[in-house]
Chains A and B, each alone.
Chain A
Amino acid sequence: MATSDEIMEALEDFKQQCNNNKRLRRMQRDWSKVLHFKATDTGDAFTMTVVEGEITKNETGTQGTPDVIIEADSETLCDMFWGDINPTQKYLKGEIKVKGSQEDIMRIDAITAIIWPEV
């Protein structure tokens, strides 16, 4: 089980990696979304705001109207933002639930593919 602070730390690292990656910023420049993440075992929730491909903020709790909601246990969420797992494979095995459009799911996958190509 991962704590709220651990997940936020992973989210902030993920933010840094995304925002510092020029290739990723160019690829995602037309992508502005609000994403909610929910840890099913601890009940913790987080909001990530993306504006034109830049992650502008990570917050605790669910803020604003989400375009995408991602649910998993806290450990899986943490692993996802540290790049320790392939989120799409977890999604296809039913271990991560994603509510949102298929295009947004592919965008998230593209981000992880660029940051962690070996995963």
Chain B
Amino acid sequence: MSVIDEILAEKDPEKIRQQTEHYYREHVNPFALRMFKNASLDIIEGKREGACVWDVSGQKYIDCVTGAGIFNVGRHNKDVVEALKKALDHYDMGGWISILRERALLAKKLADITPGNLKYSLFCCGGGEAIEVAVKLARGHTGKTEIICMENGYHGVTGFALPATGRDVYKKPFEPLAPGYTHVRFNDIQAVKDAINDDTAAVLLEPVQGEGGIRPADDQYLRQLRKLCDEKEILLIFDEVQTGFGRTGKMFCAEHSGVAPDIMVLAKSLSGGLYPISCAVFTEEISDFLMTHPFVIINSFGGTSLACLVALAAIEFIEKEGLPERARIMGERFMAGLHSLKAEYPEIVTDVRGKGLMLGIEFAEESIGPRMVYQLRKNGVITIYTFNNPKIIRIMPTLVIKEEEVDFVLEAINRSLKEVRAQEERFGQKGKGEGLKV
């Protein structure tokens, strides 16, 4: 029996759980396992389909994390799976020092669907790598070094991407980092103006900050940024790793403001949830740098034949099913329910916000985020708090979520809020002793 047959043949959920946890503890990351277990997120994924995931024992959950936007087309999307199966019948990954037809076709498709004059694509595997490409292109093209980024932004944790991420906890243990990154307040045009100097190459931001707490940039701010960058001959880079491919109710979040960046970074759902791929899409003007330096940004596994075919199939599914519009409609349904819950639990819920199906719920204090995650798992929904701000939990389901599934999630949030309210009352009762002697 082959190793894969052996793995797939094992059906005993308890045996699978014990073995997986044991090997995780011994050979992967014991503290991550502990945190998952403590947070009640120790779900060992079995079947995956549509908006849902089942653990190995058959317990069903609605996935509202989706790897922060990897599964826009749904979990284990059948169309994309079929595309990958067909691709595997014909191809391997393809040599990276070769010309690949599938890579050319995907680059053309991305040029067609991205806004403005974005025309060329360089491919990698993960979002952080694609941010690195964007930073290199910005520095290479302008001959300048400074990158202006946003406080609480998240752009990955690799070499040139890590300094752009706006939170010390990711950076401190690994200093010194690549220099030349300045962080300014998000949604504050004056802060960007003040940070620009003669050596500024680019402004880099997420149109909706994901890990920073689901914070959308104002459309007016983005338009001001575009104007400012044009005036100062600075590049504007949008990180659409989480917001891309229909997530916010448009194919790309940039479309809400009508602002086209000079470089757009894409990843996550470009993969169809099946095969890793990311890219930086950029203008013809920026591509001039590659004329003189054609082989300085390279990647063995970036834009393989298989990955590009899967990406083309994922984009085809998104267009065919009208997922951006679906995200807008389901997002409105969610938002109406979340506003009602905010009104019902004003002492717990302080804000609800987002765009399309990229939604965040902000709570009165930091401990409530993790506690809600814990309660929601019990109520059949997988969520997670945003890493830069645990006061906020994200609701980012697949874009194929159905009306009744939206309503199920809202009811689960309601039940979880009720339990948190009861916890607060119980804790308050215990605190009515002698008062604190401080």
Indicate whether A42 reaches chain B with its CB closer than 8 angstroms.
yes
Interface residues of A in 74-94 (CB under 8 A from B): 86, 88-89, 91-94
Contact A95/B427 with A38-B436, A102-B390, A110-B31 known, Cβ cut-off 8 Å: yes
CB < 8 Å: which of A43, A94, A100, A109 contacts B427? A94
CB < 8 Å: which of A45, A86, A99, A109 contacts B437? A45
Question: Are A43's CB and B433's CB within 8 A?
Answer: yes
A88–B40 alpha-carbon span in the complex (Å): 11
Q: Could you tell me the distance in whole angstroms from the C-beta of A119 to the nearest C-beta in chain B?
A: 10
Q: Could you tell me the distance in whole angstroms from the C-beta of A99 to the nearest C-beta in chain B?
A: 7
Question: Are B367's CB and A97's CB within 8 A?
Answer: yes
From A43, A62, A106, name the one whose CB has the most chain B CB atoms within 10 angstroms. Answer: A43
Number of A interface residues, CB 8 Å? 31
In the complex, per-residue mask of A7-50: 1 if CB is within 8 Å of any chain B CB, else 0: 00000000000000000000000100000001011111100000
Q: Which residue of A lies closest to B30 (CB)?
A: A113
From A40, A62, A94, A95, name the one whose CB has the most chain B CB atoms within 10 angstroms. Answer: A94
A95–B370 alpha-carbon span in the complex (Å): 13
Indicate whether B120 reaches chain A with its CB closer than 8 angstroms.
no
Q: Could you tell me the distance in whole angstroms from the C-beta of B331 to the nearest C-beta in chain A?
A: 27
A92–B169 alpha-carbon span in the complex (Å): 22
From B172, B374, B433, name the one whose CB has the most chain A CB atoms within 10 angstroms. Answer: B433
Question: Are B438's CB and A38's CB within 8 A?
Answer: yes
**Residues of A contacting B27 in the complex (Cβ-Cβ under 8 angstroms):** none
Q: Could you tell me the distance in whole angstroms from the C-beta of A32 to the nearest C-beta in chain B?
A: 13
Indicate whether A98 reaches chain B with its CB closer than 8 angstroms.
yes
Interface residues of B in 165-199 (CB under 8 A from A): 169, 172-173
A68–B387 alpha-carbon span in the complex (Å): 18
Question: Are B424's CB and A61's CB within 8 A?
Answer: no
Question: Are A97's CB and B427's CB within 8 A?
Answer: yes
Indicate whether B430 reaches chain A with its CB closer than 8 angstroms.
yes
Contact A43/B436 with A30-B172, A89-B38, A94-B427 known, Cβ cut-off 8 Å: yes
Q: Could you tell me the distance in whole angstroms from the C-beta of B110 to the nearest C-beta in chain A?
A: 36
Indicate whether A5 reaches chain B with its CB closer than 8 angstroms.
no
**Residues of B contacting A93 in the complex (Cβ-Cβ under 8 angstroms):** 371, 374, 423
Question: Are B437's CB and A61's CB within 8 A?
Answer: yes
Question: Are B169's CB and A103's CB within 8 A?
Answer: yes
Indicate whether B366 reaches chain A with its CB closer than 8 angstroms.
yes
**Residues of B contacting A103 in the complex (Cβ-Cβ under 8 angstroms):** 169
Question: Are A61's CB and B390's CB within 8 A?
Answer: no
Q: Which residue of B lies closest to A71 (CB)?
A: B431
Q: Could you tell me the distance in whole angstroms from the C-beta of B51 to the nearest C-beta in chain A?
A: 25
**Residues of B contacting A97 in the complex (Cβ-Cβ under 8 angstroms):** 367, 427
**Residues of B contacting A45 in the complex (Cβ-Cβ under 8 angstroms):** 436-438
Question: Are B433's CB and A40's CB within 8 A?
Answer: yes
A12–B375 alpha-carbon span in the complex (Å): 34
Q: Could you tell me the distance in whole angstroms from the C-beta of A92 to the nearest C-beta in chain B?
A: 4
Question: Are A99's CB and B366's CB within 8 A?
Answer: yes
Q: Which residue of B lies closest to A94 (CB)?
A: B423
Q: Could you tell me the distance in whole angstroms from the C-beta of A6 to the nearest C-beta in chain B?
A: 16
Question: Are B430's CB and A113's CB within 8 A?
Answer: no
Q: Could you tell me the distance in whole angstroms from the C-beta of B343 to the nearest C-beta in chain A?
A: 22
Question: Are B38's CB and A88's CB within 8 A?
Answer: yes
A91–B35 alpha-carbon span in the complex (Å): 12
**Residues of A contacting B31 in the complex (Cβ-Cβ under 8 angstroms):** 110, 113
Interface residues of B in 4-21 (CB under 8 A from A): none
A109–B35 alpha-carbon span in the complex (Å): 9
Indicate whether B426 reaches chain A with its CB closer than 8 angstroms.
yes
A28–B434 alpha-carbon span in the complex (Å): 35
Q: Which residue of B lies closest to A61 (CB)?
A: B438
CB < 8 Å: which of A40, A92, A99 contacts B374? A92
The contact sample of 21 A-B pairs, CB cut-off 8 A, is: A38-B436, A40-B430, A40-B431, A41-B431, A43-B434, A43-B436, A43-B437, A71-B431, A86-B38, A88-B38, A91-B371, A92-B38, A94-B367, A94-B427, A97-B367, A97-B427, A99-B365, A102-B366, A103-B169, A109-B35, A113-B31
Give B contacts to A, CB under 8 Å: 30-31, 34-35, 38-40, 169, 172-173, 365-367, 370-371, 374, 390, 420, 423-424, 426-427, 430-431, 433-438
Known A-B contacts: A43-B434, A99-B367. Give 6 more (CB < 8 A). A38-B438, A40-B433, A73-B430, A89-B38, A91-B370, A92-B370
